[in-house]
A = this chain, B = another copy of it.
Amino acid sequence: MNIDEYMTDLGRRARAASRAMARASTAARNAALESVAVAIERDRAALTEANARDLARARDKGHDAAFIDRLTLSDKALNTMVEGLRQVASLADPIGEISGLKFRPTGIQVGQMRVPLGVIGIIYESRPNVTIDAAALCLKSGNAAILRGGSEALECNTALAKLIGEGLEAAGLPQDAVQVVGTADRAAVGKLITMTDYVDVIVPRGGKSLIARLMEEARVPMIKHLDGICHVYVDDRADLAKALAICENAKTHRYGTCNTMETLLVARGIAKDVLPVLARAFQAKEVELRVDPAARAVLEAAQIGALVDATEEDWRTEYLAPVLAIKVVENLDQAIEHINEYGSHHTDAIVTEDHDRAMRFLREVDSASVMVNASTRFADGFEFGLGAEIGISNDKLHARGPVGLEGLTSLKYVVLGHGEVRQ
């Protein structure tokens, strides 16, 4: 069987399984999740051995320490998987809810029912925990999944897939509801992202380069996350204490996350009150500051040096590092304009005590998450109360921002009649 036939077969099985999943009871789906948790606990040793073989091969290939670290299925990672499965099982079932059912003048009732999307393709890199996380979310939301992990994690992923199959079977659900692509051949990905008959959506979990590569070729819609060039705008009606706490948290809580602030915008009217204090706090944590001329003037007047001149490129850069771009703007309008022009429509916050300005920022900043007086670091499925997160979406259609179980569902129209016909 060539790779094309192999993937088509996987797709066909997934489509058939998705139909069984769509009608599976809440109890059966939760029972499957619990069975997988029990099986992982039982087979810890075997999973660790499979992972050890993957690790040995990765070391032979000369992968670096960071890579090996991501690939490692530690005891702690196993515990987190098991907890994750039980946590997802405990979430409310998103499927079947009928909303907005209203009578129409013709006598019919029209509403919308939440249903699974169908078949979800997950493409991820070396972390084996994604196999369980993604499978759990797809299964809970009544979907079938085709998982394509990094080729370096193949043994471990295959072992995990076997346990998932076992859990599905124990709950009376089709084993094909979660399939792992069992080949390292790259052509498998090319096929997966173009099988529109068998795959309803692709969720890539990985870096910007993976996503960019997939975007070129995909014909199946993607729920995708590109970069996070997040801004905090400190308005001249900001509360100083809030501004300092939020900016420091947004930049320095973690440097490598997509919801970290990369550009700080400060209103001219408040710059001299805010910038020197903040700059000292950032420099104490060794954050490099790249500033525009107005910010430089304010900082130098306060005897703060070691500043780098920001270039046009800085406004468009996601540093993911202890580097911050700083710009002084005239007012709210200029801040919004800058964010919409240079940002990545991910997460942006305003610090202000002014109600009208807060509401204008919420409405006019064209980003997936917009915040008033809160740290951008809150943009996260768990912090937002989604209970789980399959990813974060930069797209405007379908799911936007952190994507939980609901992002793996769709709304269809239901019509309840009593024999009505159209006149």
Q: Which residues of A contact B (CB under 8 A)?
A: 19, 22-23, 96, 102, 104, 106, 108, 110, 113, 115, 117-118, 200-201, 215, 219, 221, 239, 241-242, 245-246, 248-250, 253, 340, 349, 360, 362-364, 366-375, 377-379, 383-385, 395-398, 400-402, 410-422
> A374 contacts which of B19, B118, B374, B416 (Cβ < 8 Å)?
B416
Measured in the bound complex, the distance between the Cα atoms of B366 and A193 in whole Å is 21
Interface pair B415/A371, CB less than 8 Å apart: yes
A419-B349 Cα distance, complex, nearest whole Å: 11
Assuming the contacts A370-B412, A396-B410, asked whether A245 and B422 have C-beta atoms less than 8 A apart, the reply is no
Instruction: Count copies of this chain in the complex.
Output: 2
Which 3 A/B pairs are nearest by Cβ-Cβ distance? A374-B417, A249-B421, A242-B419
A383 — which chain B residues lie within 8 A by C-beta?
104, 106, 108, 110, 422
- Nearest chain-B residue to A421 (Cβ)? B249
Residues of B within 8 A of A413 (CB): 368-370, 379, 384, 400-402
- With both beta carbons as reference points, the residue of chain B lying nearest to A220 in the complex is identified as B397
| A285 CB → nearest B CB, Å | 15
A108 cross-chain contacts in B, Cβ below 8 A: 371, 374, 378, 383
Q: Are A378 and B96 in contact (CB under 8 A)?
A: no
**Which one of B379, B384, B396 contacts A200 once the chains associate, using CB atoms below 8 Å?**
B396
Q: A369-B412, A415-B371 are contacts. A113–B398 as well, Cβ < 8 Å?
A: no
Minimum C-beta distance from A155 to chain B (A) = 34
What are 22 A-B pairs at a CB distance below 8 A? Answer: A19-B340, A22-B366, A104-B385, A110-B384, A115-B363, A118-B396, A200-B396, A239-B419, A246-B421, A253-B422, A362-B414, A369-B412, A369-B414, A369-B415, A373-B418, A374-B416, A377-B422, A378-B415, A378-B422, A379-B413, A397-B397, A397-B398
CA distance A362 to B253 in the complex (A): 47
CA distance A420 to B118 in the complex (A): 38
Chain B residue at minimum C-beta to C-beta distance from A107: B374
- Find out whether the CB atom of A370 lies under 8 angstroms from the CB atom of B410: no
A85–B397 Cα distance when bound, in Å, is 26
Q: How far is the CB of A335 from chain B (nearest CB, A)?
A: 13
- CB < 8 Å neighbour of A375 from B19, B367, B421: B421
The minimal Cβ–Cβ distance linking A414 to chain B, given in whole angstroms, is 5
- A248, closest chain B residue (CB): B421
Chain B residues with CB under 8 A of A245:
419, 421
Interface pair B369/A249, CB less than 8 Å apart: no
Q: For A248, what are the chain B residues with a Cβ–Cβ distance below 8 Å?
A: 421
Complex contact B117–A371 (CB within 8 A): no
Q: Which residue of B lies closest to A384 (CB)?
A: B110
Chain B positions within 8 Å of A396 at CB level:
117-118, 200-201, 410
Give the most central of A248, A250, A375: most B CB within 10 Å.
Answer: A375
Assess whether B385 is in contact with A412, with CB atoms less than 8 Å apart.
Answer: no
B residues in contact with A378, CB < 8 Å:
106, 108, 415, 417, 420, 422
Cα distance A330–B215 in the bound complex, in angstroms: 44
A262–B116 Cα distance when bound, in Å, is: 26
Contacts A108-B378, A113-B370, A117-B396 known; 9 new A-B pairs at CB < 8 A: A19-B340, A19-B366, A108-B371, A108-B374, A221-B221, A221-B397, A245-B421, A253-B421, A374-B420
Neighbouring B residues of A349 by C-beta, 8 Å:
415
Residues of B within 8 A of A416 (CB): 371-374
